[in-house]
Every structure is written in structure tokens, then in C-alpha cells.
Structure 1
């Protein structure tokens, strides 16, 4: 559950940069959004793996 909480925090932390990128066309904010999205992808994959392992051990 810790990883899921971390995922939610990461989404919340990137919200301001996403707004800057889409509203103000700030390209540096876009770079930060892209990095955060990659981190989200990796974390989501870790969660998927963890859930699958836990499900299969029962």
C-alpha cells in the first residue's frame, strides 16, 4: 500500500507543472511532466508486479 500512496503523491506533485505546461506553454514544465510520467509508469509497473505476486501466492 506504500507504493500506491507514493503514486498518489507523485500525481499530486506534478499537477502544478502540468498546468504550467498546458496553460502557459512552459516547455521546462513539460520536461518535468514527462519525467514524472515516466516515474509514474515505472511505479505503476512495480505495483502491478507486486499485486500479481501477492495474488498468485494465495
Structure 2
């Protein structure tokens, strides 16, 4: 989302994912990118925001 300012246009921040249903977005990523071992393959577009990580691995409880 971009907004017009005196110096031109600039991206604006949204608070709490205002323009998308965050819960549904997270569920969609999990449904479409989960691997057989329970880990999740991070979509390429999101990797820069997760430090370049390619997969997210679940933490298993020892209890």
C-alpha cells in the first residue's frame, strides 16, 4: 500500500495486518507448505523476513 506525501509516494505500514485476515493467511501457509515431518517450508517471498530460513521445524515436547 502506498500513500501520497509532499515528497511523492511511500509505502505505509498497517497495524495488525489490517488488510488481510492474518489467521487465514497463516493457516493457508501451513496447509500448503507443511512437509511430512511436520516442518513448514517457508515461501521464498517470506524468507527475507525470517532471516533467510528455508524451513520452520516444530519443537517437540519431552513431557
Comparing both structures, which one devotes a greater share of its residues to strand?
2
Q: TM-score, normalised to structure 2's length? A: 0.27
Comparing both structures, which one devotes a greater share of its residues to helix?
1
Structure whose CA Rg is larger? 2
Q: TM-score, normalised to structure 1's length? A: 0.28
